[in-house]
């Protein structure tokens, strides 16, 4: 009798287990009720190619949330073409990271990083060698009357004297013109150039695009000071605390006058930078000032992008547009913000130039991507030599 009761108890427990499992499975596989599905008009169904409005996939639900954006943000880039004159490829020379192109009188102007000599890397000699192509650079400039044939005019900004914050390299420059003055902002490195070295942002200004240029005695922007390295080695991936998104380096600066203030956009690199499903963990930030020379205060909303590489921003209507390339889950998109801080994706692109130098003479509130009709970029001829090229783009409604 006792054995029978035990069997009944075990069988009852098994039945309860099966019923609970079946109930749980049914809950997981139940198709969402009709009432939970959003209403989809016939027009929307036709536009998105929806087969059955009673059965909407996760992809379709996302598509229903897309903003109603037209074709004005669409753009395609053609094959980059070599320049003529002094900016043509030159053996043994690095010319890279062109600034935006501006026009003064009858001449176009561009600034860029320039160095010479073989790139030997960190493993050779960080004291006397050249660890990157952009190491041991000065900022040069060139002019052109047609955007194709360029004359190299000379050095605009030199590296600093020994002991200065910019004594190792000045590079990746951008230009801003405002109320009769020209401002160059750029990356700086202090000697020696090791893997854990910080990068800062310097600035120079002049009343003429030909100089002479006066430099700020200190950086106008520095990395966040809240990360902590692990150990004494020169391994930039070993950290105790990563800190803010820009705790290691601030890169690729670009200043734009916006709503009575000055917005300095920059790329941040974090201590212990990781590789995500979108590639390198690169994000952008912005610092704001009342005066072009600062002081600049980083936005409390930083970082303001999830992706990117070189900073590429321009005014459009009452806001700021941004081209996001190379790294991160939102790479290869064009974004726009009404306040210069909160950006939304406006379109996807492919084949965007690296280190893009926009043609700021082409800014238009009628066409958000008119500024990219043509401009400058760079190409790696090899690790020791880079040169500046011209890019062009087209739209369906553009000749």
Q: Dump pLDDT digits (tens) for 269-326.
A: 999 999 887 789 999 999 999 999 999 999 999 999 999 999 999 999 999 999 999 9
∠ CA 105-376-385 to the nearest 5 degrees? 125
CA distances from 20 to 27, 32, 127, 177, 329 (A): 11, 20, 70, 71, 40
Mean pLDDT of 230-237: 95
∠ CA 194-215-147 to the nearest 5 degrees? 90
pLDDT for 16 beyond 60: no
How much of the chain exceeds pLDDT 70, in percent? 90
Q: Whose CA is closest to 188, among 133, 119, 251, 273?
A: 251
Residue 24's pLDDT is 41
Distance in angstroms (rounded) separating the CA atoms of residues 332 and 213? 35
pLDDT for 221 beyond 90: yes
Residue 38's pLDDT is 87
Those residues whose C-beta lies under 8 Å from the C-beta of residue 3, and which sit 6 or more positions away, are none
Residue 140's pLDDT is 99
Distance in angstroms (rounded) separating the CA atoms of residues 226 and 80? 41
The tokens for 120 are 């030997």
The tokens for 390 are 């011209």
The tokens for 41 are 């008009």
Q: How far apart are the first and last CA of the chain?
A: 95
Q: Residue 271 half-sphere exposure, CB side, CA atoms within 13 Å?
A: 22
pTM of the model: 0.88
pLDDT for 2 beyond 70: no
The dihedral region occupied by 313, where left means phi > 0, alpha psi between -120 and 50, and beta the remainder, is: beta
Domains recognised in the chain with CATH numbers: 2-64 (no CATH), 71-394 (2.115.10.20)
Residue 165's pLDDT is 98
Distance in angstroms (rounded) separating the CA atoms of residues 326 and 278? 9
Distance of CA 89 to the CA centre of its chain: 26
What's the chain's Rg over C-alpha atoms?
A: 27
Residue 36's pLDDT is 64
Distance in angstroms (rounded) separating the CA atoms of residues 186 and 184? 7
∠ CA 98-104-109 to the nearest 5 degrees? 20
If you write DSSP's letter for every residue of 165-212 in order, what string do you get? Answer: TTSSEEEEEEEEEETTEEEEEEEEEPSS--TT--EEEEEEEESSTT--
Residues in the chain: 399
pLDDT for 336 beyond 80: yes
């Amino acid at each position: 009798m006792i054995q029978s009761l035990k069997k009944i108890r075990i069988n009852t427990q098994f039945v309860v287990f099966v019923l609970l499992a079946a109930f749980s499975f049914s809950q997981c596989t139940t198709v969402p009720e009709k009432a939970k599905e959003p209403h989809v008009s016939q027009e929307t169904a036709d536009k998105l190619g929806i087969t059955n409005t009673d059965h909407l996939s996760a992809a379709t639900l996302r598509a229903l949330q897309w903003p109603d954006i037209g074709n004005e943000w669409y753009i395609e880039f053609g094959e980059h073409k070599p320049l003529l004159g002094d900016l043509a490829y030159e053996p043994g020379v690095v010319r890279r990271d062109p600034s935006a192109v501006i026009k003064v009188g009858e001449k176009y102007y561009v600034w860029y990083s320039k160095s010479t000599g073989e790139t030997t890397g960190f493993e050779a000699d960080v004291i006397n060698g050249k660890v990157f192509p952009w190491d041991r650079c000065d900022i040069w400039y060139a002019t052109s009357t047609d955007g194709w044939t360029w004359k190299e005019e000379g050095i605009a900004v030199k590296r600093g004297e020994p002991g200065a914050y910019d004594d190792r390299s000045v590079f990746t420059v951008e230009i801003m013109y405002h109320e009769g003055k020209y401002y160059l902002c750029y990356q700086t490195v202090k000697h020696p150039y090791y893997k854990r070295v910080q990068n800062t942002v310097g600035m120079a200004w002049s009343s003429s695009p030909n100089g002479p240029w006066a430099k700020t005695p200190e950086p106008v922007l520095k990395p966040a000071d809240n990360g902590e390295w692990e150990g004494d080695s020169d391994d930039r991936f070993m950290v105790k605390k990563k800190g803010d998104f820009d705790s290691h380096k601030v890169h690729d600066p670009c200043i734009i006058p916006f709503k009575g203030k000055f917005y300095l956009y920059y790329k941040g690199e974090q201590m212990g930078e990781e590789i995500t499903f979108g590639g390198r963990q690169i994000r952008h930030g912005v610092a704001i000032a009342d005066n072009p020379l600062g002081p600049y205060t980083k936005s409390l909303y930083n970082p303001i992008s999830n992706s990117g590489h070189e900073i590429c921003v321009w005014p459009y209507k009452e806001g700021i547009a941004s081209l996001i390339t190379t790294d991160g889950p939102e790479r290869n998109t064009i974004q726009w913000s009404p306040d210069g801080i909160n950006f939304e994706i406006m379109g996807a692109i492919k084949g965007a130039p690296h280190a893009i130098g926009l043609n700021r003479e082409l800014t238009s509130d009628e066409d958000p991507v008119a500024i990219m009709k043509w401009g400058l970029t760079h190409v790696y001829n090899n690790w020791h030599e880079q040169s500046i090229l011209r890019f062009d783009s087209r739209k369906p409604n553009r000749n």
